[in-house]
Amino acid sequence: MDKAITIALAGNPNAGKSTVFNNMTGARQHVGNYPGVTVERKEGGCTHNGFDVKVVDLPGTYSLTAYSIEEVIARKFLIEEQPDVVVDIIDASNLERNLYLTVQLIELGVPLVLAFNMSDVAAAQGHQFDLEKLSALLGVPIIPTTGHKNKGTAELLDAAIEVAQQTKGTNPEMVRYGQEIEQAIANVVDKLEKSNKLSYSRNRWIALKLLEGDDDVASRHLSAELRPVVEQQITEVEHKLDEALPTATASHRYGLISGVCTQCVRSTIERRHSISDAIDLVATNRFLGIPVFMGLMYLVFWLTFTVGAPLMDLLDGSFGWLAGVVDGWWAPGAESALRSLLVDGIIGGVGGVVIFLPNILLLFLAIAILEDSGYMARAAFIMDRLMHKIGLHGKSFIPMLIGFGCSVPAIMATRTLDNRRDRLVTMMVVPLMSCGARLPIYALIIPAFFPGAWHAPLLWIIYVIGIVLAILSAKLLRSTVLKGESVPFLMELPPYRMPTLKGIFIHMWGRGWLYLKKAGTIILGISILLWVMTSYPKKTEFQRDYDAEIAALQTSATTELQEEGLAEIENARMAETLSYTVAGRIGHALEPVIKPMGFDWRIGTAMIGAFAAKEVFVAQMGIVFSVGEADEDSDDLRDKLKDNYTPLIGFAIMMFSLISAPCMATIAITKRESNSWMWALFQLAGLTVLAWVVTTLIYQVGLLFGLGVV
Amino acid sequence: MAATSELSASLEDYLEAIYHLVKEKQAARVKDIAERLHVKAASVTGALRALSERELVNYTPYEIVTFTRSGEAAALDVVRRHSALKDFFVKILLVDEASADSAACAMEHSVTRPLLERFVHFTQFVEDCPRAGTKWVRGFSYYCDHDSKQDNCEKCMRTNLDEVIQKKANKGAQAMTEQQLGSLKPGQKAKIVRVALADAASRRLVEMGMTVGTMVEVIKVAPLGDPVEIKLRGYHLSVRKKEAEGIYVEQAML
Ligand SMILES: Nc1nc2c(ncn2[C@@H]2O[C@H](COP(=O)(O)OP(=O)(O)O)[C@@H](O)[C@H]2O)c(=O)[nH]1
Ligand SMILES: [Mg+2]
Ligand SMILES: [Zn+2]
Ligand SMILES: [Zn+2]
């Protein structure tokens, strides 16, 4: 008999929306994206007074103009999905600006309840509210809440359910825009009423939005016949007022808000310098700001990678143990496709991704603390000048920095960016920040080809090339595919707050779980695919008769020589097997394409394996060069490389690894975060092409200068 | 307006009262109207019925009263007449507000439009003309209080001339104190006097509360020189200097 009710949560960013959402729904929530766009959509539910309540968290917005994708989404949801009631979370300590959204919600005519959140902060600041009067003036019930103490949640739900059951809405005509604008509205409404059957207040809203030049509303309601009327009204009114219409209407809304506030708010004490201001004296200080920022970023890195390392080893160990156990189900040496699939394909592949979980959880712990405390906004404030030069937003800095650790958490960290375009550009270029998994490749190759004094500078050059390419690509994307007016950097610097344990935990676990679940499923698929590619078709007829060679060896040589010889033969067999597989064949087939970069089929095959994870490149090179289990410290492999390739090719390999197709985990997470295969494939293709062009250029220019011959 | 000319003086007073109540309290109730006009609730209901018949207000018993579109225009018309007359009484004739109000209320119903225009223009003229102005009106007050005596006319003329010159010079100075928001230094407070934002994106500044008349304070400039942290309406906002270009402010005189 449960009756179902949908509540939509609206509110300014930082008003405590997520906190109230968590209070309402507890653990019952689901995070996803709005269809087709990279905007997080959170849904949850609870039962209250016998009602089945569904809660939808709308994107945090300051306004409801169709100015950003978040606002369009919020508005579209309100108009099209018609929630039974909208709860507007208000930061009471910042009343005037928060009421701007409220007024727009009222104008939209949705059933509304106000949650007066942060009442504790407002009280501490010396504000006293006449809530009864405010509620009467606005025509909406108001419930005081304190989000982080979970106070007022039940009352809020009571009020929301009550409003949801009423049919009476708010008074959408509350704001009067002065004679000139009102007259223009009336003229447009007259025309609208002739062509549609909407209510007067709906038409008034449409007319107002048309006059404000709202593209979204125009695309729905501005007929060819109406267009000249609206345009004429706009010119006339703007001429009379000597002001742009959207700014004039905004002023009128603020006028009403100021009027209401003078009647309902009393400030008892003069607000003195708060703790928050004191922190900012250091945190955004002219001279200390940047060092403090760098220090904190270092701390984030340290937490993610150093503290995470033992946990990672532990997980790595467990997967190794698991592989051993599964391996034990078969007789030693027995050939079994199933065993290989389970051990090498699934456990190896999925394990390779899951072992990043500690890093990711720790990273999100750090980000959650930075975000919830309010420092993230300061970081963006400090870095914006630099990032703006690349056409990005101050907040892009943090994901790019994290990219030096690993692209996967870095791409997930782009969630802190409010603007979709900025977010996509950041996602696309993050893999150019050389991640930790590429370090083994450099560690193998640099000492193989270059003298000791060159090691550090070369490593540095590689990282710098990555950064420069990221900057150039960002600029390129910003002026082509992701063009569009740059978003003004209007960011609130909220007061510092003590983050709550619950909030941080939900933040951290929600994102970690997402990583495991979604990336896990895609990665499982790709792991199996890669396993098939590097295992099939099986070669049965070999060029050398390995078995005979082994037999001969076992009878003739000493034990020591036997072992060495056996390993050599096994590796040669593996190399031949690999060369026969799909991956090996692709490597061969790719030779003409990768030739200009100085690569042969062996490097090509290893690169395909490296798509599973960059560090796999080293192991794969070990296989193709028949040196057995290779890691980045393998001198055998270095010798082989030195014999086969020139330093120029060595450098080309590093360049290609730096730029090319990021690992599959990155592609999978880009797909998840951008909510589109298109962007994931664009990233894959774009970076691969870029890598090819840059590497070819370096190799060919190098050859010209005679660097190829040693 | 056709509807208005047919209205009785009393109905116009009702329109006026409702207008003010809506403005002050967002809604007009029968009780409030009665209180305001010092009449019985029953008379109010009668009047409301008459107004609603003429489609000037929406009225059903026990609900709040709202204007129709033509009703609002009619009310505005009455209110304008009232305030034009009151302005004249207070500013030119130097009558106290209360008597000005009641006189305006009585005259507003019969004053013709051309005459009303004259009142408005004359008030404006007296305020603007260098030969008249507030000083001149104060002279009138002196004249009224001192048995129609005019003292010191030469001196009055001379100081007036000085003031005209000063005023001209001041206007120039005032134009110079207008500056861009981005040019304020940390710690400086200013009032927004003009908003000239060309592109739609930066109009968002206004939505964040940067409307004309708002006080802003520059808190600090980011370590790399941009953006700036600004305090307004009790909160802190970060804006890039370039993007705040269309916001003009006048520094608060300390
Ligand atoms: N003092 C105080 N802090 C609160 C209150 N509600 C939420 N917060 C804190 O405000 C910060 C921002 O809240 P959050 O829910 O993330 O805001 P959102 O951006 O609207 O989702 C968090 O650190 C919360 O713990 C409240 O009523 N009082
Ligand atoms: Mg939130
Ligand atoms: Zn990585
Ligand atoms: Zn009157």
User: Could you tell me if A433 and A410 are in contact, meaning their C-beta atoms sit under 8 angstroms apart?
Assistant: yes
**Which residues on adjacent β-strands are paired with residue A55?**
A7, A44
A698 domain-assigned: yes
Dist CA B52 CA B65 (whole Å): 10
User: Could you tell me if A94 and B234 are in contact, meaning their C-beta atoms sit under 8 angstroms apart?
Assistant: yes
User: Could you tell me if A102 and A171 are in contact, meaning their C-beta atoms sit under 8 angstroms apart?
Assistant: no
Q: What are the respective helix, strand and coil percentages of chain B, to the nearest 5?
A: 55, 15, 30
C-alpha of residue A507 to centroid of ligand 2, in Å: 9
Q: Which of B18-27, B82-91, B232-241 has the lowest average pLDDT?
A: B18-27
Dist CA A63 CA A249 (whole Å): 13
Residue B1: pLDDT band by 50, 70, 90 thresholds? Answer: very low
The protein residue with its alpha carbon nearest to ligand 1, atom 13, reads: A16
DSSP string of A246-307?
Answer: HHHHHHHHHHHHHHHHHHHEEE-S-----HHHHHHHHHT-TTTHHHHHHHHHHHHHIIIIII
Last residue of a domain, one of A143, A165, A187: A165
Q: How far is CA A674 from CA A35, A476, A664, in A?
A: 11, 19, 15
A81 domain-assigned: yes
Residues A316 and A398 in one domain: yes
Dist CA B249 CA B180 (whole Å): 6
Q: Do B227 and A377 touch (CB under 8 A)?
A: no
Q: Do B207 and A250 touch (CB under 8 A)?
A: yes
Dist CA A319 CA A348 (whole Å): 8
Residues A146 and A192 in one domain: no
**Cβ burial B30-51 (10 Å sphere, 16+ → b, else e):** bebbbebbebeeeebeebbebb
- Asked if residue A600 has its Cβ within 6 Å of ligand 1, the reply is no
Residues A623 and A681 in one domain: yes
- pLDDT of A113 reads 96
State the smallest CA–CA distance between residue B52 and chain A in angstroms. 18
Helix (H/G/I), strand (E/B), else coil: A350: helix
Query: What's the number of domains chain B is made of?
Result: 2
User: Could you tell me if A623 and A578 are in contact, meaning their C-beta atoms sit under 8 angstroms apart?
Assistant: yes
- pLDDT of A655 reads 92
Q: How far is CA A366 from the centre of its chain?
A: 15
B24 domain-assigned: yes
How many CB pairs below 8 Å do chains A and B form together? Answer: 137
Cis omega (within 30 of 0) on the bond before A499?
no
Residues A212 and A130 in one domain: no
**Residue ranges in A41-145 assigned as alpha helix (H):** 69-76, 95-108, 119-124, 131-138
Last residue of a domain, one of B18, B36, B67: B67
Dist CA A341 CA A327 (whole Å): 11
Residue B202: pLDDT band by 50, 70, 90 thresholds? Answer: low
Q: Do B203 and A247 touch (CB under 8 A)?
A: yes
State the smallest CA–CA distance between residue A82 and chain B in angstroms. 25
A331 domain-assigned: yes
Pick from A12, A90, A148 the residue to mutate for probing ligand 1's pocket: most ligand atoms within 8 Å of its CB: A148
Residues A540 and A663 in one domain: yes
A286 domain-assigned: no
User: Could you tell me if A702 and A655 are in contact, meaning their C-beta atoms sit under 8 angstroms apart?
Assistant: no
- pLDDT of A272 reads 52
State the smallest CA–CA distance between residue B250 and chain A in angstroms. 18
C-alpha of residue A75 to centroid of ligand 2, in Å: 18
Dist CA B155 CA B162 (whole Å): 11
Residues A462 and A362 in one domain: yes
Q: Do A493 and B203 touch (CB under 8 A)?
A: no
Range of the domain at A87: 3-165
More confident residue, A609 or B214: B214
- pLDDT of A1 reads 46
Helix (H/G/I), strand (E/B), else coil: A225: coil
pLDDT digits (tens, 9 = 90+) for A264-322: 888 765 555 578 888 998 888 889 998 998 888 788 767 876 787 788 788 878 888 88
Of the candidates B170, B190, B165, the one whose C-alpha atom is nearest the C-alpha of residue B179 is: B190
Residues A81 and A218 in one domain: no
Q: What would the two tokens of residue A428 be?
A: 């696309």
The minimum-distance atom of ligand 1 relative to the CA of A147 is: 6
Last residue of a domain, one of A139, A165, A191: A165
Residues A127 and A240 in one domain: no
CB proximity A102 to B under 8 Å:
no
- Asked if residue A125 has its Cβ within 6 Å of ligand 1, the reply is no
Q: Which residues of chain A have pLDDT under 50?
A: 1, 710
Residue B175: pLDDT band by 50, 70, 90 thresholds? Answer: very low
Chain A residues 438-497 with CB within 8 Å of chain B: 485-495
Q: What would the two tokens of residue A328 be?
A: 């034990």
A582 domain-assigned: yes
A488 domain-assigned: no
Residues with Cβ–ion distance below 5 A, ligand 3: A 406-407, 435, 437
Last residue of a domain, one of A165, A191, A206: A165
B77 domain-assigned: no
Residue B71: pLDDT band by 50, 70, 90 thresholds? Answer: confident
Cis omega (within 30 of 0) on the bond before B227?
yes
Q: What would the two tokens of residue B30 be?
A: 């029968």
Q: What would the two tokens of residue A559 be?
A: 């034990």
Residues A149 and A189 in one domain: no
Last residue of a domain, one of B67, B88, B114: B67
Checking if the pLDDT of B156 tops 60, the result is yes
B130 domain-assigned: no
- pLDDT of A181 reads 92
User: Could you tell me if A371 and A497 are in contact, meaning their C-beta atoms sit under 8 angstroms apart?
Assistant: no
Residue B250: pLDDT band by 50, 70, 90 thresholds? Answer: confident
Q: How far is CA B55 from the centre of its chain?
A: 29
For A213, how many CA atoms within 13 A lie in the half-sphere containing its CB?
16
More confident residue, B242 or A525: B242
**Which residues on adjacent β-strands are paired with residue B67?**
B57
Neighbours of A343 (CB within 10 A): 20
- pLDDT of A100 reads 96
More confident residue, B61 or A85: A85
Dist CA B124 CA B141 (whole Å): 18
C-alpha of residue A508 to centroid of ligand 3, in Å: 20
Q: In what order do the strands lie in the sheet with B235-239?
A: A491-492, B235-239, B228-232, B215-221, B189-195, B247-251, B178-180
- Domain with residue B53: its CATH number is 1.10.10.10
**Cα three-residue angle A175-A179-A181, rounded to 5 degrees:** 70
| Residue A148 identity | H
pTM score, two decimals? 0.69
User: Could you tell me if A362 and A356 are in contact, meaning their C-beta atoms sit under 8 angstroms apart?
Assistant: no
Burial of A438 (0-12, 13-18, 19+ CB in 10 A): buried
A556 domain-assigned: no
Q: What would the two tokens of residue A106 be?
A: 């009222």
- pLDDT of B158 reads 73
pLDDT digits (tens, 9 = 90+) for A90-140: 999 899 999 999 999 999 989 999 999 998 888 888 888 999 999 999 999
Of A137, A251, A286, the CB nearest to B206: A251
Helix (H/G/I), strand (E/B), else coil: A612: coil
Residues A143 and A239 in one domain: no
Last residue of a domain, one of B40, B67, B94: B67
CB proximity B187 to A under 8 Å:
no
Mutate to test the interface with A, among B20, B65, B220, B236 (most CBs of A within 10 A): B236
- Domain with residue B234: its CATH number is 2.30.30.90
Cis omega (within 30 of 0) on the bond before A537?
yes
The H helix count followed by the E strand count for chain B is 10, 8
How many residues belong to chain B? 254
B99 domain-assigned: no
Residues A185 and A324 in one domain: no
- Domain with residue A122: its CATH number is 3.40.50.300
User: Could you tell me if A229 and A193 are in contact, meaning their C-beta atoms sit under 8 angstroms apart?
Assistant: no
User: Could you tell me if A357 and A479 are in contact, meaning their C-beta atoms sit under 8 angstroms apart?
Assistant: no
Of the candidates A323, A674, A668, the one whose C-alpha atom is nearest the C-alpha of residue A527 is: A668
For B43, how many CA atoms within 13 A lie in the half-sphere containing its CB?
13
**Which residues on adjacent β-strands are paired with residue A46?**
A53
Query: What's the number of domains chain A is made of?
Result: 4
- pLDDT of A551 reads 78
Contacts of B26 in chain A (CB under 8 A): 136-139, 171, 174
Dist CA A351 CA A355 (whole Å): 6
Residues A657 and A685 in one domain: yes
The protein residue with its alpha carbon nearest to ligand 1, atom 2, reads: A118
Range of the domain at B63: 9-67
